[in-house]
């Protein structure tokens, strides 16, 4: 039986990757499933609060993708009209819950495929008493433009996406030219796409993708993220990175990178009118 607020079978349980062959093949996946058993308190969070915090998206038969023509009705979900921020890959929810608490006049939707992370996010949201955040259990690479109407999102956040460090796996990285087009479609004119990573070569790729798209303007052209970048960046002193986003709280993903002295590089680009 599925948990309240979830579509049964939409994500393989941890350790059951072998069952994926029973489902139709989706497009190249941009994430790695992180498994592990959930403690009882997280099961309780799902059972008790998912109806409030999780948006139950109608899916295509035997698929994780939303049905054609479906868009989330924000006014119905939140009971108001407010600026919308979408976080892609919310993990354990530290960022989205922190942002929701700090910005009660803004609505937040987190897209995440890791069910234990969804449960942790719900627990944190309940503890913080925030009501302006919702979660959808889905892969953003196949659903962003299906979930949100064109020009309906104020900001999209992509913080520390799976870096797929091996060269042969770079095609699995989320931030690609095609995905940039999708993000541009859902953003309002002048809306912001914020990104961050602690993997240097992924930072260069992100920078090249957003600056290579005519649909985005980069107000930080030429800005270095680190004084040593000209020696390591394949493009030398090209730069293009934003100052650290003040609204981004420090998560365990960032701390892991900082512990091994990796430089965190931010990007913040706006959709061209």
- Determine if residue 22 is labeled as part of a ligand binding site: no
**Dist CA 111 CA 115 (whole Å):** 11
- Determine if residue 261 is labeled as part of a ligand binding site: no
Active site residue 162: yes
**12 vs 9, 67, 77, 172, 205, CA distance in Å?**
7, 19, 26, 19, 30
- Determine if residue 131 is labeled as part of a ligand binding site: no
On whether the CB atoms of residues 143 and 111 are closer than 8 A, the answer is: yes
Residue 270: φ, ψ to 5°: -115, 145
- Determine if residue 266 is labeled as part of a ligand binding site: no
For residue 134, give the H/E element and its range.
strand 133-137
**Scanning the structure block, which residue is given the tokens 């495929």?**
113
**Scanning the structure block, which residue is given the tokens 């394949």?**
234
- Determine if residue 94 is labeled as part of a ligand binding site: no
Instruction: Considering the candidates 94, 162, 229, 233, report the single residue annotated as catalytic.
Output: 162
**Dist CA 181 CA 204 (whole Å):** 18
**Dist CA 17 CA 24 (whole Å):** 14
On whether the CB atoms of residues 47 and 3 are closer than 8 A, the answer is: yes
Neighbour tally for 44: CB within 10 Å: 14
- Determine if residue 252 is labeled as part of a ligand binding site: yes
Q: What is the number of alpha carbons within 13 Å of residue 75 lying toward its C-beta?
A: 2
- Determine if residue 162 is labeled as part of a ligand binding site: yes
Structure tokens at 38: 């959930």
**58 vs 61, 66, 138, 141, CA distance in Å?**
9, 6, 11, 17
- Determine if residue 215 is labeled as part of a ligand binding site: no
Which segments are annotated as binding site for S-adenosyl-L-methionine?
87, 112, 139, 162
Provide the annotated active-site residues. Answer: 162
Which segments are annotated as binding site?
87, 112, 139, 162, 166, 198, 251-254
Which segments are annotated as binding site for substrate?
166, 198, 251-254
């Amino acid at each position: 039986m599925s948990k309240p607020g979830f579509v049964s079978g939409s994500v393989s349980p941890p350790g059951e990757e072998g069952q994926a062959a029973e489902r139709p093949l989706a497009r190249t996946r941009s994430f790695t499933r992180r498994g592990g058993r959930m403690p009882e308190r997280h099961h309780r969070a799902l059972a008790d609060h998912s109806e409030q915090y999780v948006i139950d998206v109608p899916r295509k038969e035997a698929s994780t993708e939303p049905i054609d023509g479906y868009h989330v009705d924000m006014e119905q979900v939140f009971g108001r009209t407010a600026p919308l921020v979408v976080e892609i890959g919310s993990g354990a929810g530290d960022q989205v819950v922190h942002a929701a608490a700090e910005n009660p006049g803004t609505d937040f939707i987190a897209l995440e495929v890791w069910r234990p992370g969804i449960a942790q996010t719900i627990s944190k949201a309940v503890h913080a008493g925030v009501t302006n955040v919702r979660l959808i259990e889905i892969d953003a690479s196949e659903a962003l433009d299906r979930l949100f109407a064109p020009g309906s999102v104020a900001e999209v956040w992509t913080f520390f996406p799976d870096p797929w460090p091996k060269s042969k796996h770079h095609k699995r990285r989320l931030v690609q030219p095609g995905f940039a087009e999708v993000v541009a479609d859902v953003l309002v004119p002048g809306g912001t796409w914020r990104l961050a990573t602690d993997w240097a070569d992924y930072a260069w790729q992100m920078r090249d993708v957003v600056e290579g798209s005519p649909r985005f303007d980069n107000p930080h052209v030429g800005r270095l993220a680190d004084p040593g970048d000209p020696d390591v960046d394949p493009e030398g002193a090209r730069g293009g990175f934003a100052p650290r986003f003040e609204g981004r709280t420090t998560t365990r993903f960032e701390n892991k990178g900082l512990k091994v002295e990796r430089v965190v590089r931010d990007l913040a680009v706006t959709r061209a009118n």
